[in-house]
A and B are shown apart, each in its own frame.
Chain A
Amino acid sequence: MRDFKLHRRQVFQGLIALSAVGGIAACSEQTNSSSDATADSAISSGLFDAADMALIAALSETLIPRTDTAGAIDAEVPDTLQALATDWGDEGFQSYWLTGLANLRTVLNERAGARFETLEHSQRGEVLSAYDRAVFDGDIEDGFYRDFKNTVIQAFYMSEPGATEALAYEPVPGEWIGCVPLSDYPKNWAT
């Protein structure tokens, strides 16, 4: 299981790298075709096709990059979103996400002057950061982007790397102490 997870993480890193050199450009028009065996078997199958997953992976990792602690891809956030949309989402949710992602792709590609997921990490950061600011400052109305971002945040901080590395998690604290120095426990508790 562990190995498998590790493998999947590498695959996602790879997926972004791959898309960066245009390797999966070909699949972006073909939903779930098996034209690219690597990408196809690599991503969890479901509502989102390989191109969607590449965008989701790029967006998630830009929102929550690997720093000294795990990032969104380490935490398999794209898989979590795939499962959510595929197994949990009803038709309304699914079409909202597909449309929302497509719009986001168009908008970001336009702003980037290239396909968003093909940009270097730092460039992606610049593009997304500007867009994020515009949305939250109220200059642009994009409810889907807000939902998407919230879902990525949730998926990450509820994941094992998110809860245990990025935050602090004590499954069995053993006792409750109402007032401790922040310096002893500087991070937010995962729950």
Chain B
Amino acid sequence: MAEFDVIVVGSGMSGGWVAKEMCEQGFKVAVIERGRSISPTEDYSDFINPWDVEHLNRKTAQDLEDYRIQSEVYAFQSYTRQFWVKDTEHPYETAEGTDFRWLRGYHEGGKSIMWARQSYRLSEIDFRANKTDGHGVDWPVRYDDLSPWYDYVERFAGISGSVEGLEILPDGIYQPPHDLTCAELDFRDRIEAEFPGRRVIPGRAANLTEPTQEQMDLGRGKCQARNHCFQGCSFGAYFSSNSATLPAARRTGNLTFISDRAVHKVIIEEATGKAAGVETVDTKTGERSRVTARVVFLNAGTIPSTMIMLNSASEQAPNGLGNSSGQLGRNLMDHHSGARGSAILPGHLDKHTFGRRPNGFYIPRFRNHTEEAEGFVRGYGYQGGAMRTSWWSAMDKKGIGDELKFDARTPGPWRISVVAFGEVLPNERNQIRLHPNKTDKWGFPIPILDAAWGENERNMVRQATRDTRAMLEAAGGIDIQTEDPETVEPAPPGIGIHEMGTARMGRDPSTSFLNKWNQSWDIPNLFITDGSFMSSGGCQNPSLTYMAFSARAANHAAELMKDGTI
């Protein structure tokens, strides 16, 4: 007899959803999380004032040593380092001539604590993209299969946004949007007039602007417009596993949360070829043990889940568990950024903003949609904001005394900043391998990340930079700053923090790892619903899609469990 009905490996964005759904279906669920448990009172730093910040928020020498890679991300601050892994403890290598910035946090809730909450649906155009242009394999699902699940997760998670009726960016179920600023409204009008087919809309963010009873029953409250989200939110006002899915799972009484235990392998029962459970290592004591269950869900994050599968190789499956297709570890994607821009938008000097918006505006993809593109397939969307420049503009500037104080307290002009997130093509060359002999301190082989963006991404980032310039000019921007569109390169893999694709789903077991239910073709009681399943990436931030597929897969698995198929 297995100890549990379901094992969920990892308690982040996707694992939280599987845990909730399975617990609510009445199954006994063990969530196995390699990091520590999170306690809002101890771990969240959302009540910190500017004057509580140590050393003017400068990174310490120790930070730069311990968190060499993590400390580069904007959400790493002196008061949020508790949410990032120490790079010294979690080494990885990149293949020669490649770069990959692997950003992550190992604790209850995973990256759902630090995420920027932008939540967009993929569209039918995205689900057809691989089939249309021949890159990767065709998604085994279409938008209509996912649409009810998007509804389902949005309703529970709580997304603020506006209904726009766009084919490229389907509408969902929204709480009231965050207003655009006066300068953004002006920008919107000018862009939409100058470029028919482009739209500037409020960002869609997983922040509660009008909480439902269901959300309040979980102890979640309205967003207080502090924009301290990546410090954790004591109001539970943005969606995280910690604020939403794990509490929902816990209240069923069916959840066993096992922290500080890393899963190293999936155990396969020889007689049946099915998963019997997982092998774990206590991250504090090094003690090894097994946990057994009828069904295993891997939700450790794209790279860790892939590593677990590769590390579970056996005589029967020499290239990694469930890897008869040979696709495990391949097609590593992210979103490329790099097309950035900023400018001053003249006017509106008699206007200001109130509160701190945890959000911005969004410009949905228009290339290869309402407008043609040369030199690349697919496209990009922009995220940005326009705010008045604040006290820091008194720095690097002439003036002392009254003049300096006046400069610092008087709102400056409106400055707009935008960045494009572009789609990365699935490419078998971009892959994750395990190191043949180096391991981490728990004896797990370290990964070698081997990914580089190609011509399509390069041409895209250059066009995105041209489009950025053109829009800033059309909006009457001055002091326009962008990279040189003729030479700009996409930011290196990893920086988008949207790693995905290394156990893709498909229609054919010989070319894909998972079927349309996120179920392993080879091992019917094994599911993966973190970003590994993504057959293509779209250009939208992916987490909402992971949530929808997680809920869908969990409910499907629950049916199979109930009818005895698995």
Contact = CB atoms under 8 A, between A and B. Distances in A.
Interface of A: 62-65, 67, 69, 80, 83-84, 87-88, 90, 125, 128-129, 132-133, 136-137, 146, 149-151, 153-155, 157-160, 163, 166-167, 169-191
Interface string B385-407: 00010111011111111101100
Contacts of B56: 80, 84, 151, 154-155, 158
A63 B404 CA distance: 7
A182 B398 contact: no
Nearest to A84: B55
Nearest to B350: A182
The 9 A-B residue pairs whose C-beta atoms are closest, nearest first, are A178-B179, A173-B355, A136-B398, A176-B355, A179-B182, A88-B55, A176-B225, A177-B354, A158-B50
B222 to A, nearest CB: 8
A88 B408 CA distance: 26
B398 A173 contact: no
22 contacts: A63-B401, A69-B405, A88-B54, A137-B398, A158-B51, A160-B49, A163-B49, A163-B51, A167-B391, A171-B49, A175-B354, A176-B178, A176-B179, A176-B354, A176-B357, A178-B181, A179-B181, A179-B185, A182-B349, A182-B351, A184-B352, A189-B356
Given A84-B58, A155-B56, A188 B397 contact: no
A149 B395 CA distance: 8
Contact of A185 (B55, B60, B354, B398): B354
Nearest to A68: B405
B250 to A, nearest CB: 27
B396 A132 contact: no
Contact of B351 (A83, A167, A181): A181
From B51, B54, B57, B184, residue with most partner A Cβ within 10 Å: B51
Interface of B: 47, 49-51, 53-58, 60-61, 178-182, 184-185, 223-226, 349-357, 388, 390-392, 394-402, 404-405, 408-411
A177 B225 CA distance: 9
Contacts of B54: 88
A166 B401 CA distance: 13
A66 to B, nearest CB: 10
B410 A188 contact: yes
Nearest to A168: B409
B179 A167 contact: no
A153 B60 contact: no
Contacts of A180: 351-354
Nearest to A81: B56
Contact of A191 (B50, B184, B396, B408): B50
Contact of B400 (A125, A163, A170, A173): A125
A151 B402 CA distance: 18
A140 to B, nearest CB: 12
A185 B410 CA distance: 10
B355 A174 contact: yes
A179 B395 CA distance: 26
Contacts of B395: 149-150, 153-154
Nearest to B395: A150
Contacts of A172: 224, 226
Contacts of B409: 166-167, 187-188
Contacts of B411: 182, 186-188
Contact of B399 (A132, A186, A189): A132
Given A125-B400, A188-B408, A173 B224 contact: yes
A33 B484 CA distance: 57
A173 B51 contact: no
B410 A150 contact: no
Contact of B356 (A88, A176, A188): A176
A177 B55 contact: no
Nearest to B180: A178
B207 to A, nearest CB: 9
B349 A150 contact: no
B467 to A, nearest CB: 24
Contacts of B184: 178
A130 to B, nearest CB: 10
Contacts of B182: 178-179
A142 to B, nearest CB: 13
Given A87-B55, A153-B391, A159-B51, 5 more contacts: A158-B51, A173-B225, A175-B355, A179-B185, A180-B353
A137 B397 CA distance: 10
Contacts of A158: 50-51, 53, 56-57
From B53, B349, B395, B402, residue with most partner A Cβ within 10 Å: B395
Contacts of B180: 178
Nearest to A187: B409
Contacts of B55: 83-84, 87-88
Contacts of B178: 176, 178
A159 B51 CA distance: 5
Contacts of B350: 181-183
Contacts of B351: 179-182
Nearest to B358: A176
A171 B51 CA distance: 12
Contact of A129 (B50, B353, B356, B401): B401
Contacts of A63: 400-401, 404
B199 to A, nearest CB: 17
A173 B226 contact: yes
